[in-house]
Structure 1
Amino acid sequence: MDGFLIGLQELAQLSSILFLLLGVIIGLIVGTLPGMNDNITIAVLIPVTFGMDPQQAIMLLVGIYCATCFGGSFPAILLKIPGTASSVVTTIDGYPMSKKGLAGQALGISTVSSTIGGVISGIVLITLSPFLAAQALKFGPPEYFSLIILGLCTVIGMARGNVIKSMIAVLTGLFIATIGMSPQTGFARFTFQQADLLDGVPLVPLMIGLFGVTAVLELFEVPKVKDVENKTEKVKVGKILPDKKMFKRLTPTMLYSGGLGTIIGILPGAGMIMAVYMAYDHTVRRLKKKVKNFGDGAPEGVAAPEAANNAVVASSMVPLVSLGVPGNSVSALFIGALMIHGLQPGPSLFNNNPEVAYLLIIGFLAAYIFIFPLGLLMAKFLTATILKVPKELLAASIVILCFTGAFAFKNSLFDLWVIIAFGIVGYLFNKFNIPFSALILSVVLGALLESSYQQSMVLSNDSFNIFFTQPISLGLLIAAALFVFYPVFSAIFRRRKNVE
């Protein structure tokens, strides 16, 4: 309760509220622009926050993260162009509603569902993170090693038919994490006689390249601006908020999907895509007898994915804030944001910087207080205007922000080469459908995985038994094995079902 009051006190500061509001506005605009997403925006703005107070920087990024996830539903519903990857499923029923003249109702359902999903996960973040952080203080090197193995295995095990490619991404990230000076021997590894690589590949430029430059390269694959303009001219928004009858009808779907998204968000590496597909699939199966028009404008088809993807937002921060393990690629970016301000994510954050830790977890709940009214206003008055922003202007803005932000961070030309290199890597990964969110997770966790392993070997005199004799470590490894073998068991089950 003391920590909660500290967070409220920090949130009550005018600067915190203003930066949270600014983040929400930026996030709503960015989410509405096809080809843009939360990863790109946060990666580009992390260096910009270097000169801010930590509280201001955190509130800005929290607002962007929450609002961008919601804003992606606008082009998905109006144009059948997902603004973010998590809004792909929203197009299935959202766009048919728009074609029937129910665009306003679809946007209203999206706004209400997103708010409910975000509030559910925000409450879970507030209540669960301090408890897990207290338990994490009991973790030693074996437990942290097993926890990281679990995080990497969830990325692989939940890849849904993309297991091999996820393994490639994880192994590539672990290789990148080994570049630099060995913490045990002091020898340089894979530096190719480049002094700039002795400290390893810089994390912030790496992520700016993966998300920012990759986005510029892909932005030109978005449909032409004229096509977008023609579609927006035909859309009439109309009434926004759903009536009481519709709200009552959708409440079970929103609560169920919000709860499901919260659970999935807590699992490291699971991500929004899995949450929205599972929520939509379960909703269709649960209501197929009552709702006959799924895929042709069913309101539940908008409510389920929007509640689920916004529920992932705050819950994905639970493992980061409490254990120091990022839940997805966006929460990994928050590690970079915290580190440039000298803050270490994990249980020590609650002890050393409680004002930042509790402001962060309360900020996710507060963000949706702004998102709800601003989302309704944007749906009513600004949608068509924002969707007509030329992609050339977007691309130029992203490039400028990427390079000036990264250079200003350390005044290093080497960082610019890192941005370009990983921008190309990200583009190629996308072309071959290799998830670079898994790459980010393994890069961030690689150094901690190595140090935890080495410390465990020292404690056990080079015996692997230490990982299996500690109860917490053993439990985490068993869970990791289940995640790895889950695709195998599910494939066998599907084959048997098809044979029968």
Structure 2
Amino acid sequence: MDYSALWAAGLHAFSLWPLLSLCAGVALGLVVGSIPGLNDTITLAVLVPVTFAMPPDIAFPLLVGVYCSACFGGSFPAILLKIPGTASSVLTAIDGHAMVKQGKAGMALGIATYSSTFAGTLSALVLVFFAPLLAQYALKFGPAEYFSLSVLGLSTVVGMGAGNAMKSAFACLLGLLVAMIGMSPEAGFPRFTFGSFWLFEGLPLTPILIGLFGLSVVFEMLSTRAETAAGDRIDRTPIRFGDMLLSASMIKRLLPTWLSASALGNLIGILPGAGMLVAIYLAYERVRRRFGERCGQGLPEGVAAPEAANNSVVASSMVPLLSLGIPGNSTSALFLGALLIQGLRPGPGLFEASPDVAYLIVICFVIANLMMFPLGLLLARLVPNLIRAIPQPLLAASIACLCLTGAYAIGNSVFGVVVAVCFGGIGFVFNRLQVPLSPFILALVLAPVIERAFFQSMALSNGSFTYFVTQPLSAGMLLFTLLFLLWPLGRRYFRRRQQALAS
């Protein structure tokens, strides 16, 4: 590592225009993330062409600020309204909104802010100091390892069943079925398209999430009296800064959760294509296994774990991009376009050919995460209080408009709106039947990864299934998957045996 170039980039990052650009990016990301239907990917997709006319030391701080803060901004509506502003806030909504119902909205928002800042800063430091080392481990992941990792993530459905295993399994199977819509990656043959060209590329994920978590809430509001819905969903007590500041005892309590979720998020983030959702589900499952039935009832660790996991993936996903030229996820892939627009080529030679830009990017990740703390506390107070001041009918209409606008903006097509409305109805039915949405979403996200990795592994091994167990990393993850599946069954068996002996 060239420490002199790192020091020079750090000094330049604190100059006027790069710092203002970074601050604007963080603020924009927080606002965009708090709007259901909009996320960092959409925002960066709009901003990347704009950066063509900007110098690199202004363009990249702006993009870094949006990328770092957007997933944290999604926690605001997730906690207050149980509507994830971004896909990464899906699990934050569970315990976060339960804390709101208990009159602890300020604490929930504070935990999200502290967790995001801590994990994001730690991930940024990992990017600065350990990018080459972590990139070497990422190179060892082939199709078999991706398959095993995805199966490991999908096996969390059993643990998340928590006495509702049949409904969780049903939701998981339905998610796998929906994910099969579109063209087969192996044969190129359309599946479940029913002759409609709209379905050839499959159903878009973001409109599905908008419908499940946004429009389903609107349908629920319409099906109940306005005053009942308002009293159930929103606590009108203003949020104060003091409510969001965590005590020393709470910080000490949450520190192990932050560290474990951050470590997991960093490991997942450096694997190209593994995705943020895998990290947050695995981190949340660790909390669920530790606290059992308390999870989902307003547990602080239930907010801290997913928020720490998703923000730790942000900077670590840049490791394979900057070190190898391989995007870690769809959002970091937009950075690839931004680098190419500026005439830069990401990869091992980036730090040698353009050390000023490369080290400026990694330093901006550190500064952006530190900026998130004061700006997050400020907007966490202003945005929720603004939402709470809106009358309930107007709030429902606003949510519907934002959701439908976001669904349309994904592909500039009415098809996204149709998908959002349909899955809004499905989410409404799921809520009424108490069918969990988490297994459905996890299966929907992991199914393409599993299918693609499986066929690639079969091609490499000439159709031999032993390929998955002859690869050490793959075999290890499959072993953990087996233990993951057997642990709840074994625990239930021993519990029944103890009850039988006691009686």
Normalising by structure 1, we get a TM-score of 0.69
Instruction: Work out whether 1:312 is the aligned partner of 2:321.
Output: no
Which residue number in structure 1 is paired with residue 281 of structure 2?
270
Instruction: Work out whether 1:52 is the aligned partner of 2:61.
Output: no
Q: Measured at CA, do residues 337 and 449 of structure 1 come closer, stay the same or move farther in structure 2, by a change above 3 Å?
A: same
CA deviations over 1:131-166 (Å, ceiling 9, x no partner) = 554312222222221121111112333433333333
> SS of 2:161's equivalent?
coil
CA deviations over 1:145-199 (Å, ceiling 9, x no partner) = 1121111112333433333333222222222222222222222211111122122
Displacement after TM superposition at 1:91 (Å): 5.2
Displacement after TM superposition at 1:316 (Å): 5.6
* Equivalent pair of 1:90/1:305 in contact (CA under 8 Å): no
Which residue number in structure 1 is paired with residue 72 of structure 2?
66
Displacement after TM superposition at 1:473 (Å): 1.2
Displacement after TM superposition at 1:364 (Å): 8.2
CA deviations over 1:268-304 (Å, ceiling 9, x no partner) = 46367656667778999xxxxxxxxxx9xxxxx9865
Instruction: Work out whether 1:126 is the aligned partner of 2:124.
Output: yes
Correspondence for 1:170 among 169, 172, 183: 172
Q: Measured at CA, do residues 370 and 185 of structure 1 come closer, stay the same or move farther in structure 2, by a change above 3 Å?
A: closer
Which residue number in structure 1 is paired with residue 467 of structure 2?
466
State the superposition RMSD in angstroms: 4.8
Q: Which amino acid aligns with 2:75?
A: C
Q: Distance in 1 between matches of 2:205 and 2:380?
A: 35
Unaligned runs of 5+ in 1: 31-37, 77-81, 99-105, 285-294, 296-300, 325-333
Instruction: Work out whether 1:159 is the aligned partner of 2:161.
Output: yes
Which residue number in structure 2 is paired with residue 403 of structure 1?
404
Q: Which amino acid aligns with 2:490?
A: F
Displacement after TM superposition at 1:480 (Å): 1.1
Which residue number in structure 1 is paired with residue 486 of structure 2?
485
* Equivalent pair of 1:59/1:360 in contact (CA under 8 Å): no
Q: Distance in 2 between matches of 1:446 and 1:352?
A: 35
Q: Measured at CA, do residues 211 and 115 of structure 1 come closer, stay the same or move farther in structure 2, by a change above 3 Å?
A: closer
Q: Distance in 2 between matches of 1:238 and 1:456?
A: 53
Which residue number in structure 2 is paired with residue 87 of structure 1?
96
CA deviations over 1:75-116 (Å, ceiling 9, x no partner) = 99xxxxx99323245358x63xx8xxxxxxx94x66665444
* Equivalent pair of 1:114/1:307 in contact (CA under 8 Å): yes
Correspondence for 1:136 among 138, 153, 156: 138
Q: How does 1:92-491 map to 2 (within 5 A)?
A: 95=103, 107=106, 113-126=111-124, 130=131, 131-220=133-222, 224=228, 227=231, 232=236, 247-262=247-262, 268=279, 270=281, 274=285, 307-308=304-305, 310-315=307-312, 363=365, 366-367=368-369, 369-372=371-374, 375=377, 379=381, 386-491=387-492
Which region of structure 1 is more displaced relative to structure 2, 155-164 or 176-185? 155-164
Q: Measured at CA, do residues 67 and 320 of structure 1 come closer, stay the same or move farther in structure 2, by a change above 3 Å?
A: same
Q: Measured at CA, do residues 403 and 135 of structure 1 come closer, stay the same or move farther in structure 2, by a change above 3 Å?
A: same
Q: Measured at CA, do residues 399 and 352 of structure 1 come closer, stay the same or move farther in structure 2, by a change above 3 Å?
A: farther
Q: Distance in 2 between matches of 1:60 and 1:274?
A: 28
> SS of 1:270's equivalent?
helix
Normalising by structure 2, we get a TM-score of 0.69
Q: Which amino acid aligns with 1:196?
A: W
* Equivalent pair of 2:430/2:436 in contact (CA under 8 Å): yes
Q: Measured at CA, do residues 146 and 257 of structure 1 come closer, stay the same or move farther in structure 2, by a change above 3 Å?
A: closer
* Equivalent pair of 1:113/1:306 in contact (CA under 8 Å): yes
Q: Which amino acid aligns with 2:252?
A: P
* Equivalent pair of 2:152/2:478 in contact (CA under 8 Å): yes
Q: Distance in 1 between matches of 2:137 and 2:30?
A: 33
Q: Distance in 2 between matches of 1:274 and 1:465?
A: 29
Instruction: Work out whether 1:18 is the aligned partner of 2:51.
Output: no
Give the aligned length. 441
* Equivalent pair of 1:154/1:269 in contact (CA under 8 Å): no
Which residue number in structure 2 is paired with residue 330 of structure 1?
none
Which residue number in structure 2 is paired with residue 298 of structure 1?
none
* Equivalent pair of 2:218/2:396 in contact (CA under 8 Å): yes
* Equivalent pair of 1:188/1:198 in contact (CA under 8 Å): yes
Q: Distance in 2 between matches of 1:361 and 1:423?
A: 41
> SS of 1:461's equivalent?
coil
Displacement after TM superposition at 1:250 (Å): 4.0
Q: Distance in 1 between matches of 2:301 and 2:333?
A: 35
Q: Which amino acid aligns with 2:259?
A: G
Q: Measured at CA, do residues 459 and 165 of structure 1 come closer, stay the same or move farther in structure 2, by a change above 3 Å?
A: same
**Aligned-residue identity in percent:** 29
Displacement after TM superposition at 1:51 (Å): 2.1
* Equivalent pair of 1:121/1:314 in contact (CA under 8 Å): yes
